[in-house]
Amino acid sequence: MPARPSIKRENSRIATGAKIIVVFCCANCNAGYKATQCRQVLQDVGTFRCQVCGVEVYSWSGDYDYIDWTAIKAKLKRRKKR
Ligand SMILES: [Zn+2]
Protein backbone atom coordinates (compact mmCIF):
# COMPACT_ATOMS: atom_id res chain seq x y z
CA MET A 1 0.00 0.00 0.00
CA PRO A 2 1.84 3.08 -1.15
CA ALA A 3 1.74 6.04 1.14
CA ARG A 4 0.47 9.10 -0.57
CA PRO A 5 1.76 12.34 0.82
CA SER A 6 -0.20 15.52 1.03
CA ILE A 7 -3.76 14.36 1.15
CA LYS A 8 -5.58 16.96 3.13
CA ARG A 9 -8.89 15.22 3.53
CA GLU A 10 -8.37 13.95 7.05
CA ASN A 11 -7.11 17.15 8.53
CA SER A 12 -10.38 18.26 9.95
CA ARG A 13 -10.22 16.17 13.10
CA ILE A 14 -7.13 17.95 14.29
CA ALA A 15 -7.78 21.63 14.48
CA THR A 16 -4.40 22.72 15.70
CA GLY A 17 -2.77 22.40 12.34
CA ALA A 18 0.77 21.26 11.89
CA LYS A 19 1.31 17.55 11.84
CA ILE A 20 4.75 16.13 11.52
CA ILE A 21 5.62 12.62 10.45
CA VAL A 22 8.35 11.17 12.61
CA VAL A 23 10.22 7.97 11.90
CA PHE A 24 11.36 5.70 14.70
CA CYS A 25 13.42 2.58 14.67
CA CYS A 26 13.27 -0.27 17.16
CA ALA A 27 16.59 -0.48 18.97
CA ASN A 28 16.19 -4.19 19.46
CA CYS A 29 15.07 -5.61 16.11
CA ASN A 30 15.47 -2.60 13.82
CA ALA A 31 11.86 -2.50 12.73
CA GLY A 32 10.88 0.87 11.39
CA TYR A 33 7.80 2.83 12.31
CA LYS A 34 6.39 6.15 11.44
CA ALA A 35 4.09 8.19 13.59
CA THR A 36 2.31 11.47 13.36
CA GLN A 37 3.37 14.06 15.88
CA CYS A 38 0.69 16.51 16.82
CA ARG A 39 0.05 18.98 19.56
CA GLN A 40 -2.17 17.80 22.31
CA VAL A 41 -4.21 19.97 24.56
CA LEU A 42 -4.00 17.80 27.63
CA GLN A 43 -0.49 16.88 28.52
CA ASP A 44 -0.44 13.15 28.62
CA VAL A 45 2.07 10.37 28.48
CA GLY A 46 2.20 7.59 25.97
CA THR A 47 4.31 4.65 24.97
CA PHE A 48 4.69 2.72 21.79
CA ARG A 49 5.97 -0.83 21.78
CA CYS A 50 7.49 -2.63 18.84
CA GLN A 51 4.92 -4.81 17.14
CA VAL A 52 7.58 -7.35 16.30
CA CYS A 53 9.50 -7.87 19.51
CA GLY A 54 7.54 -5.90 22.10
CA VAL A 55 10.35 -3.66 23.20
CA GLU A 56 9.49 -0.07 23.94
CA VAL A 57 10.37 2.01 20.92
CA TYR A 58 9.41 5.41 22.21
CA SER A 59 7.68 7.04 25.11
CA TRP A 60 6.60 10.61 25.32
CA SER A 61 4.99 13.19 27.48
CA GLY A 62 4.26 16.86 27.29
CA ASP A 63 2.86 19.02 24.59
CA TYR A 64 3.00 16.51 21.79
CA ASP A 65 1.22 13.29 21.15
CA TYR A 66 2.17 10.59 18.69
CA ILE A 67 -0.60 8.90 16.79
CA ASP A 68 -1.17 6.73 13.73
CA TRP A 69 1.78 4.42 14.27
CA THR A 70 2.49 2.52 11.10
CA ALA A 71 5.08 -0.12 10.45
CA ILE A 72 7.42 0.68 7.62
CA LYS A 73 7.65 -2.40 5.49
CA ALA A 74 10.48 -1.30 3.28
CA LYS A 75 13.92 -2.40 4.26
CA LEU A 76 15.79 0.36 5.90
CA LYS A 77 19.03 0.72 4.10
CA ARG A 78 21.74 2.84 5.44
CA ARG A 79 20.96 5.65 3.18
CA LYS A 80 21.83 9.14 4.18
CA LYS A 81 19.29 11.13 2.39
CA ARG A 82 17.59 14.25 3.62
ZN1 LIG B 1 11.50 -4.58 17.78
Query: What is the mean pLDDT for each group of 10 consecutive residues in the chain (82 residues)?
Result: 54 61 96 93 91 97 94 70 60
Q: Tell me how far apart the alpha carbons of residues 52 and 60 are, in angstroms, rounded to a whole number.
A: 20
Give me ligand 1 centre to Cα 25, in Å: 8
The domain tally of the chain equals 1
Q: Output the pLDDT for position 82.
A: 61
Q: Tell me how far apart the alpha carbons of residues 72 and 82 are, in angstroms, rounded to a whole number.
A: 17
Q: Tell me how far apart the alpha carbons of residues 78 and 45 are, in angstroms, rounded to a whole number.
A: 31
Q: What is the pTM of this model?
A: 0.65
Give me ligand 1 centre to Cα 52, in Å: 5
In a domain, 5, yes or no: no
In a domain, 29, yes or no: yes
In a domain, 4, yes or no: no
In a domain, 6, yes or no: no
Give me ligand 1 centre to Cα 32, in Å: 8
For 62-78, letters b (16+ CB in 10 Å) and e give: eeebbeeeeeeeeeeee
In a domain, 62, yes or no: yes
Q: What is the residue range of 27's domain?
A: 16-72
Protein residues placing their CB within 5 Å of the ion ligand 1: 26, 28-29, 31, 50, 52-53
